[in-house]
Structures are given as structure tokens and as C-alpha cells.
């Protein structure tokens, strides 16, 4: 009789032989989740000397991985007191990292239980889960966003993410000015960038100086680091050609503009993030420049987040081919986008060819009627603004201001003459969902300095399309449904369904 032991041994031998004959391929061992996470997520430790904010605790991971904490920076924002005119600093939070693929995010609000939470801008349509003090959600691609809890305006988390870096300059290259992780000071607090050079700020680097491109060409600022300038703005580019600011640089509470550019031909500002809380704390201001592209920026500022101007100070000349696209804007003071204002009465200038597309305006607060408008085109100083195309402009429920403000104006605080006019403006796919907007204004100066040929296509206010073809009383103006006031010096104002 064959024993059970002998039978089992024979079966094992047969199985082994068969596997050898047919060359069975066994699946490789699964990649260690920590190794995979390191390939998909890059975090950057904050220098210990910088202020942090412990209101939020932030963690990220790949599905099935282990949580990795992010350092959280203190961000200062501005709230204007309308009685005194003073600015009260409001504390907020910011964290940044890089990733690819799909990741999970956990945000814990240490101050109190989370009653409600949302991701801004709303157009992202990112669902959240709330558990006690923690908000969790999933990202499938890098985004610059705000985690807003309990309807807070300032006590929020600005969570900024970028794709993984793939082309890091060499620290040993003679063409690279390299700043690794840590805090870096520069004598005089100004870093002068020569022609042909690249300034690289590694993730975790903090530069305390202004980066200055002046009378140079083919120069670049890139990386993942932070500029926290001790004096002056974060970035200046002037009288130059082919200047690139890209990567995912963050300007953190500079003492001036995040980026000031004047008389630049060939300008790219891509991926810049900026926060400000001081007076004249503009985001990006472009004067008298040609062939400029602002792409994928995130601005939260204490003055205009993006401004396109003509002559001011020592900048002169016409502007042309200016594009602002794929960006997210939050104006705690003044305009999200402001075009015009400054110019040259003695030698009038023209801004010709402005394209604004795929923009999310998350907030706008400006009590002064002269400076309202999520999109403002205000020309003074004998300026002419023409051939403006705006498309896919999404406006959320802002605190105070106007949706649109177009004026040929003479503001004696800034101008020495009225503007010459505004003409050929097309605004397509503008949507506003909210209840706080004051009536929009289109105001030509006189019969010679007019606003002419303004066309709205698919203007949607709180879900209702505003068009000349809509059903309405015959004695109503289409603009009444925005609501919008257009004076007698506005010619050829049209609202089309598509």
C-alpha cells in the first residue's frame, strides 16, 4: 500500500516538473509602497527660522501608502478697515509640494470642529469628506487651491502643488545661480541677474532679496523655492528681452509687488504664486511691454492681483500681445484684473491685443466705487485700449465690488488727462454666481472718447443667460438683467447668446 506521505511527495514532484516544462512566470513582488510614494510625491522642509502656522496639519500619500506631513508656512493677508482706512493683518496658512498620479490629502483644522468645508475654486469640483476636525479629498493632478473651512475668509489653507521637477539645473553650471534649501541673504537685498543666466531656487530655499532683471536678455528664474524679500518687491524685470519666470516660485509677503515688469519684450511668467498684505501689494504689474504671457499663476494680494498698464515712472511705449490665462485670483483689496489707468498725456500710448482666458476669480473686496470690478478696463492719460478678448472667466460670490467696470476716465489722483477710448472688446463665457455684486458700469467720457463695440457672448448670471434675444419687456435694456449701467457714450453694446 502506498502511504499518504509518498503520494503527496509524488504530487509535488509532478507539479514542480510541470511548472518547469511550461515555464510558469511568477508575478514579481509588489514595489514597496514607500519607494513608490517617494517617486510620486516630493516634499520640501521649511527652514526652521521661518514662521510657521499650526492651525492646519497637512498630510499627503499615495493610495495605500503612508501619510507624509507637509510643513505649513505662515501667510499674512490684509483686511481694510473702511472707517479708518488702515489694514489689519490676517494670519493664514500655506503649504506646497510636488506630485504625479493620484494622491490622497488629509487636512486637520486644529482650532475647532469642521462644520463645513469646500475646495476653491469651485470649478475644480473636488468633493471632500469631513470627520470631526479633518477634511480629506483626492487629487488626480497638481492644483493650486484653497481649503476653506467653516466659511472662513482668511483662516484657510492655501495648498499649492506642482508637477515633479524633471529638468533641474546643475549647481555647478557657470550659467546657473543656484540656491539650495535654507535661507539665503544677498548683499544689498538685490540679486542682479546677468544676461544668459538662470537663477534656481530649490524647494525649501528661501531668498530674502529682490530678483532683478534690468537691461538684460535671455535670463530666467525657476525652481520651487520662496522669495521673501526684506525690502522691495520680489521680482523686477525692466528694459529687457526674453525673460522667463517659471517653475513654481512663491512670493511670500514682499514689501512691494510680487512681480513688476516694464518695457520688456518677450516675457513669460508661469506658475508663480504670490501673497501680500501691505499697501500697494500688487501681484503682477506689466507696464509698456510686448509679447507677454502670464500663465497658471495663483495670486492672493492686498491690491490688484494682475494689472496691465501704460506709462508710469520711467516706463514708456505702447503695449501689445499681452495674454493672461489659466490662473486663479483672489483680491483682498482692489481688482483681480485691472487694465489701463496709467499713460502718457504728452505722447499718447496704445495697448493693442489683450487676451484673458480660463480665469477663476475667487474673491474681490473693494469698498471704493472708483476701484471696483473683477475685470476693470479704465483708461486715463490719453490711453487707448483696443482689441481685448476675454473668454471662460468664472467669478465666484465675492465680498464687495462690481463684476465689470469699463470707463474712459479722468481720475485726478492718477491722471493728467482723460483716456482716448476703449474699443473692440469681446467677453465670452463669463459666469457669475453670487449675490454681492454692485451694478456693473460702462462709462464713456464724452462723444469723442467713447467705449465702442463691446460684445458679450454667453454671459450667465446666477444660471441665467443674458442676451438681446432673451424674453423681456420691450422697454427694458438687456443690460438691466446683469445689472449694468451703460451711459450714452457707449456705442454698439451687444449681448449674444453664443
pLDDT digits (tens, 9 = 90+) for 86-97: 999 999 999 999
Q: Grid coordinates representing 444?
A: 464713456
Residues 139-169: tens digit of each pLDDT: 999 999 999 999 999 999 999 999 999 989 9
- Using the 8-state DSSP alphabet, how is residue 480 labeled? G
Segment (H or E) for 178 = strand 176-179
Query: What is the predicted pLDDT for the residue at 248?
Result: 98
Cβ atoms of 220 and 177 within 8 Å: the answer is: no
pLDDT value at 432 more than 70: yes
pLDDT value at 329 more than 90: yes
Query: What is the predicted pLDDT for the residue at 7?
Result: 41
| Averaged pLDDT, 189-211 | 98
Closest CA to 361 of 305, 440, 309, 428: 305
pLDDT value at 476 more than 90: yes
In angstroms, what CA-CA distances link 143 with 138, 360, 392? 11, 13, 18
CB atoms within 10 A of CB 443: 18
Q: Quick check: helix, strand or coil at residue 153?
A: coil
Q: Quick check: helix, strand or coil at residue 194?
A: coil
Query: What is the predicted pLDDT for the residue at 38?
Result: 85
Cβ atoms of 60 and 103 within 8 Å: the answer is: yes
Residues 353-375: tens digit of each pLDDT: 999 999 999 999 999 999 999 99
Query: What is the predicted pLDDT for the residue at 31?
Result: 54
Q: Give Cα 233 distance to the centre of its chain.
A: 17
- Stated length of the chain: 498
Percentage of the chain surpassing pLDDT 90? 92
Q: Grid coordinates representing 269?
A: 511668467
Cβ atoms of 41 and 70 within 8 Å: the answer is: no
Q: Grid coordinates representing 206?
A: 528661501
Q: Grid coordinates representing 423?
A: 474699443
Q: How confident is the model at residue 33 (pLDDT cuts 50, 70, 90)?
A: confident
Q: Grid coordinates representing 362?
A: 475667487
Closest CA to 288 of 267, 311, 270, 305: 311
- Does the N-terminal peptide bond of residue 121 adopt cis geometry, omega within 30 degrees of 0? yes
Query: What is the predicted pLDDT for the residue at 34?
Result: 79
Measured in degrees and rounded to the nearest 5, phi and psi for residue 278 equal -100, 165
Q: The cell 492651525 sits on which residue?
A: 55
Half-sphere exposure of 34 (CA within 13 A, CB side): 1
Buried b (16+ CB within 10 A) or exposed e, 257-271: bbbbbbbbbbbbbbb
Query: What is the predicted pLDDT for the residue at 23?
Result: 34
| Averaged pLDDT, 113-137 | 98
For the chain, give the mean pLDDT: 94
pLDDT value at 55 more than 60: yes
Query: What is the predicted pLDDT for the residue at 473?
Result: 97
Q: The cell 480665469 sits on which residue?
A: 359
| Averaged pLDDT, 382-387 | 98
Identify any residues that bridge with 106 across adjacent strands, giving them in sequence order: 59, 136
Buried b (16+ CB within 10 A) or exposed e, 155-173: bbbbbbbbeeeeeebeeee
Tell me how far apart the terminal alpha carbons of the chain are, to the nearest angstrom.
Answer: 90
| Averaged pLDDT, 463-483 | 98
Residues 231-242: tens digit of each pLDDT: 999 999 999 999
Non-local CB neighbours of 60 within 8 Å, separated by 6+ positions: 41, 43, 67, 68, 70, 97, 99, 103, 104, 105, 106
Query: What is the predicted pLDDT for the residue at 35?
Result: 86
- Using the 8-state DSSP alphabet, how is residue 24 labeled? P
Half-sphere exposure of 123 (CA within 13 A, CB side): 20
Whole-model pTM: value is 0.93
Query: What is the predicted pLDDT for the residue at 5?
Result: 43
Q: Is the dihedral of CA 258, 387, 290, 370 positive or negative?
A: negative
Q: How confident is the model at residue 497 (pLDDT cuts 50, 70, 90)?
A: very high
Mean pLDDT lowest among 36-45, 421-430, 446-455, 487-496: 36-45
Q: Quick check: helix, strand or coil at residue 7?
A: helix
Could you give the residue ranges of the DSSP H alpha helices within 384-489?
Answer: none
pLDDT value at 219 more than 50: yes
Q: How far apart (Å, rounded) are the C-alpha atoms in residues 453 and 144?
A: 35
Amino acid at each position: 500500500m502506498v502511504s499518504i506521505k509518498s503520494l503527496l511527495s509524488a504530487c509535488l514532484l509532478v507539479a514542480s516538473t510541470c511548472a518547469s516544462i511550461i515555464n510558469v512566470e511568477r508575478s514579481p513582488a509588489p514595489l514597496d509602497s514607500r519607494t513608490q510614494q517617494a517617486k510620486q510625491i516630493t516634499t520640501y522642509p521649511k527652514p526652521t527660522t521661518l514662521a510657521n502656522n499650526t492651525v492646519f496639519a497637512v498630510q499627503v500619500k499615495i493610495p495605500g501608502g503612508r501619510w507624509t506631513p507637509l510643513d505649513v508656512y505662515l501667510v499674512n493677508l490684509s483686511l481694510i478697515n473702511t472707517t479708518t482706512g488702515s489694514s489689519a493683518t490676517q494670519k493664514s496658512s500655506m503649504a506646497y509640494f510636488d506630485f504625479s498620479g493620484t494622491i490622497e490629502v488629509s487636512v486637520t483644522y486644529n482650532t475647532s470642529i469642521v462644520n463645513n468645508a469646500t475646495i476653491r475654486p469651485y470649478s475644480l469640483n473636488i468633493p471632500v469628506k469631513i470627520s470631526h476636525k479633518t477634511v480629506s479629498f483626492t487629487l488626480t493632478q497638481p492644483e493650486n487651491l484653497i481649503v476653506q473651512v467653516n466659511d472662513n475668509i482668511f483662516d484657510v489653507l492655501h495648498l499649492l502643488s506642482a508637477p515633479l521637477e524633471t529638468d533641474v539645473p546643475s549647481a555647478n553650471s557657470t550659467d546657473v545661480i543656484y540656491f539650495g534649501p535654507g535661507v539665503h541673504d544677498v548683499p544689498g537685498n538685490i540679486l542682479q541677474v546677468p544676461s544668459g543666466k538662470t537663477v534656481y531656487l530649490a524647494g525649501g530655499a528661501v531668498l530674502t532679496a529682490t530678483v532683478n532683471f534690468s537691461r538684460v536678455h535671455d535670463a530666467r528664474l525657476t525652481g520651487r523655492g520662496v522669495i521673501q524679500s526684506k525690502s522691495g518687491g520680489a521680482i523686477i524685470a525692466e528694459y529687457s528681452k526674453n525673460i522667463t519666470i517659471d517653475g513654481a516660485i512663491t512670493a511670500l509677503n514682499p514689501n512691494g509687488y510680487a512681480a513688476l515688469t516694464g518695457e520688456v519684450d518677450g516675457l513669460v511668467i508661469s506658475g508663480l504664486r504670490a501673497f501680500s498684505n501691505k499697501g500697494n501689494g500688487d501681484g503682477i504689474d506689466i507696464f509698456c511691454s510686448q509679447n507677454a504671457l502670464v500663465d497658471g499663476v495663483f495670486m492672493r494680494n492686498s491690491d490688484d492681483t494682475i494689472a496691465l498698464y501704460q506709462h508710469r515712472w520711467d516706463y514708456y511705449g505702447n503695449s501689445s500681445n499681452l495674454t493672461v490665462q489659466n490662473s486663479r485670483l483672489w483680491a483682498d483689496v482692489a481688482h483681480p484684473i485691472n487694465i489701463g489707468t496709467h499713460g502718457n498725456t504728452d505722447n499718447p500710448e496704445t495697448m493693442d491685443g489683450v487676451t484673458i482666458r480660463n480665469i477663476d476669480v475667487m474673491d474681490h473686496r473693494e469698498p471704493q466705487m472708483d476701484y471696483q470690478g473683477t475685470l476693470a478696463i479704465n483708461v486715463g492719460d490719453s490711453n487707448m485700449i483696443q482689441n481685448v478678448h476675454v473668454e471662460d472667466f468664472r467669478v465666484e460670490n465675492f465680498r464687495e465690488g462690481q463684476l465689470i467696470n469699463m470707463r474712459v476716465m479722468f481720475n485726478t489722483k492718477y491722471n493728467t488727462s482723460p483716456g482716448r477710448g476703449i474699443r473692440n472688446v469681446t467677453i465670452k463665457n463669463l459666469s457669475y454666481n453670487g449675490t454681492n455684486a454692485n451694478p456693473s458700469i460702462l462709462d464713456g467720457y464724452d462723444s469723442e472718447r467713447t467705449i465702442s463695440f463691446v460684445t458679450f457672448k454667453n454671459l450667465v448670471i446666477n444660471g441665467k443667460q443674458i442676451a438681446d434675444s432673451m424674453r423681456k419687456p420691450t422697454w427694458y435694456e438687456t443690460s438691466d438683467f446683469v445689472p449694468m449701467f451703460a451711459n450714452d457714450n457707449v456705442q454698439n453694446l451687444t449681448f449674444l447668446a453664443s
